[in-house]
Every structure is written in structure tokens, then in C-alpha cells.
Amino acid sequence: MGRPVLIGIGLVFLVGGIADAQILSKSMVSSYEAGHPGVSIAANTPKHASLWTSTLPTTFSRLEKVDGNWRLGANMAIGGSYVFVTGKATPQVDGSYRLDPQFMIGPVANIGITPGSDGKLDGTLLVGGTIGFSAFAILGGYDLLLSRPVIGVGVQIQSLTFTESLTKLVSLR
């Protein structure tokens, strides 16, 4: 394994700490209760949460098919995705819930750079899907710029980290 690949794997675990948990605010939980008559969220009780949210999928390494052979290489890419997330929601003192994602799936588009065979950096544009457990995810699809199938390993940072406007809470029970 080359140094760029090892650095990429290290960055996945480093950035994974950012993506590990998000906060469902008290106002988001209250809005959910208001839209679901008869549902009352008991305080201090862990819940199972399901939601749709946008993410920033970030990859630092990828497996790509070049001339009929699969090759592992370094990659630096960031993109956008809208995923279905399920996880454990733990109540916080302020009435919010900390969401620890356990599973996510959805479409993805990523742009970035990767070392080319000529030693120069090539641009990449991956379109496909993502599936993940906890904060880590596998992104698979087709690189439109390099014309090849690609599998990337990375992290998903939910938009809840930055804004709730792109998130739809589906269930909290």
C-alpha cells in the first residue's frame, strides 16, 4: 500500500469523528410531536430515529477499474447526497436528542481529484449511490470524467451538523 492510500485511510478515521453524531434540536422534536397527534416523546428515554437528510460525503481513497483491473488509489473528493438515516437518539439535558447514525442509504454525486497514471492529478465526477454504517460509508458508481466504475470509502457528514432545513424527521419512537 502506498503512502497516499495510508494517509487517505487515516483521514477517513479522523474526519469520521466529526460525522459520528448529530443533534436533533428541541424545536425539531417538538415539530415532529405537533405533526403526529397522540405521540408524546418521553424525556430521558433513548429512541430509535429515522430521517431524511442531506449529507456531505467525503472520500479519501477509492477502488477503480482501470484497463480491466481493479486498483486501489488515493482520492480526495466531496459531494452531495440525500440519504435515509436510521439510528439511536439519546436525550440531552436541553430537550434535544443526540443522533448516532447506524445505517444510511441514498444517491450521491462527488467531485474531486485523484492521481492519474501519468503522475498528474485528474479531476473526478462520481455519480452513484452510497450505503453506510455509523459515520463511515461506501460510495459506488461511475466516474463520468474518467469513464470507469469506482468504489470509494469515506465518511458522511449529515447536514444536521450545519442546518436543519434540509432534514425531515420521519419517526422518533
137-144 long-range Cβ contacts below 8 angstroms, 24+ apart = 137/57, 137/104, 139/57, 139/59, 139/108, 139/110, 141/108, 143/64
- Per-residue pLDDT at 10: 47
Q: In this structure, what DSSP letter does residue 31 have?
A: H
* 3-class SS of residue 2: coil
d(CA 50, CA 101): 9
Q: Which of 78, 74, 86, 65 is nearest to 150 (CA)?
A: 65
Beta strands in 41-120 (DSSP E): 47-66, 69-91, 97-115
Instruction: Parse the chain into domains and list their residue ranges.
Output: 3-172
Phi, psi of 17 (to 5 degrees): -65, -35
DSSP string, 34-46: HHSTT----TT--
Pair 52, 168: CB distance under 8 Å: yes
pLDDT digits (tens, 9 = 90+) for 38-61: 666 666 678 888 888 888 888 888
pLDDT at 5: 45
pLDDT of residue 163: 65
* Contact (Cβ atoms closer than 8 angstroms) between residue 47 and residue 148: no
* Residue 38: per-residue pLDDT: 64
Residue 125: predicted pLDDT: 92
What residues in the chain have per-residue pLDDT under 50? 1-2, 4-20
How far is residue 149's CA from residue 142's CA, in Å, rounded to a whole number? 4
Q: 167 near 23, Cβ under 8 Å?
A: no
Residues 6+ apart with CB under 8 A from 26: 94, 95, 96
